[in-house]
Amino acid sequence: MTQVDVLIIGAGAAGLFCAGVAAQQGLNVLLLDHYPKVAEKIRISGGGRSNFTNKDIDPRAPHTHFLGDNPMFARSALSRYTAQDFIDLVKKHGIGFHEKHKGQLFCDRSAQDLIDMLLRECEAGAMGGKVTRWQPCSLAGLTYSDAPEPHYLADTSQGQVQAKAVVVASGGLSIPKIGATDIGYSLAKQFNLRLVEPRPALVPLTFAATDWQPYAALAGLSLPVAMQTGEGKKPMSFNEDLLFTHRGLSGPAVLQISSYWQTGQQIRLNLLPDTDLAQALLYAKQSSKKSLNNALAAWLPSRLADTWTAAQSDWQKSLPDTPDKALQRLAQALQAWTLTPSGTEGYAKAEVTAGGVDTRDLSQQTMESTQKGLYFIGEVVDITGWLGGYNFQWAWASAHACAKALAARLKPL
């Protein structure tokens, strides 16, 4: 029987960071993960350089870049452990980094530098604290008893573990090829915690093959757009790059909007958000003798201009021969393109999982659930960040809040 203060399930971003902070507070931690490689999601993120946080998160209102049934839940942890706090840690370890776009910070060299940093933090235990990592090691069962004092008993592939507290940092269902499972949700259900239905987020959108056939040949083409979804007074919109794929749409604009898109909803695209295209075409018509598709290529990639103008006979003439109404109709079509996705590329291509453990059953201060001594942190919780380092910052912040709470409870001064 192995006895520890804290058992952490999941050796990803949240689990590793929580283990390190807890050990530095004097706790004896056992970290286990069924997947043989440590923090594989960090390693593959950001094109192998890991977009580890976003420096533009406002500490006064950090929840504004997050979604869930109650995004305000994230405010406490995010305001107590900020992006700057994590940046300071990265600097302390001498890891070079740079800003790429809209506050997004990436490692200069490799995401492995970040993983090595987290492992070193786990080795920096204090006051008798330490981290032991069992990997690969699977969890076969978890039970709770309050006699003779409250504790958990875990059956693992490396033997039985008794722990005073358990932290579930198992992530979501995204990218199953690197070990994603539903164990976090199963544990939540076992202990009668509520779940918000998980779904793929930050994921490419797909369309019915017949609907997408005219655009499939545009795969690989990218351009900046304005994209919107949702009804009523507060539709969600993003101005980012769009990428055409063989099956639909991807790129930052689509990944962002996918977290808000609901099945059956339309998306609206402005392919030229900074141009009054109708006015520009009517003005060009006065002096240009080009064909309409060639003239349109002054504002759009030529392949896209060719594909679009091929859709109607009115658009297959020279610019001077195209009626004004046809030009206005073309501009309207390009700047208010409305489509209904058939679905998404699913968990295989989703960067994160939205939904998860219902925040109504968790403490925003400590991340402890209504089941005494059972904590949930990171992606397994119903808090999902925007694209751009926000989800990693939620992992760091929720892990830090949890570790500090564990230390206060298990190692009282």
List, by residue range, all CATH 3.50.50.60 domains of the chain: 2-199+353-410
104-128 pLDDT, tens per residue? 999 999 999 999 999 999 999 888 8
Tell me which residue of 225, 267, 217, 264 sits closest to 245, measured CA to CA.
217
Structural tokens at position 326: 């046809």
The boundaries of every CATH 2.40.30.10 domain in the chain are: 205-344
Burial class (CB in 10 A: 0-12, 13-18, 19+), 412: exposed
Mean pLDDT estimate for the chain: 96
Asked if 258 and 267 touch (Cβ cutoff 8 Å), the reply is no
Of 380, 405, 408, 378, whose CA–CA distance to 78 is shortest?
378
Tell me: pLDDT of 413 over 80: no
Q: Which CATH superfamily is domain 2-199+353-410 in?
A: FAD/NAD(P)-binding domain (3.50.50.60)
For 89-101, write each residue's pLDDT tens digit: 999 999 999 999 8
Q: Is the pLDDT of residue 49 over 90?
A: yes
Say which CATH class 205-344 falls into. mainly beta
**CA 169/CA 166 separation, integer angstroms:** 10
- Write a three-state SS string for 232-273: CCCCEEEEEEEEECCCEEECHHHHHHHCCCCCCCCEEEECCC
Interacting residues of 231 by C-beta distance below 8 A, sequence separation 6+: 265
CA 179 to mean position of chain CA atoms: 17
The conformation of residue 18, written as its DSSP 8-state character, comes to H
167-206 per-position pLDDT tens digit: 999 999 999 999 999 999 999 999 999 999 999 999 999 9
Cα–Cα nearest to 385, from 148, 136, 104, 178: 104
* Average pLDDT for 124-139: 94
Phi, psi of 380 (to 5 degrees): -65, -20
DSSP tag of 108: S
Model pTM score: 0.95
Q: Rg of the Cα trace of the chain?
A: 25
Measured at the alpha carbon of residue 35, what is the angle toward residues 30 and 36, in degrees to the nearest 5?
A: 90
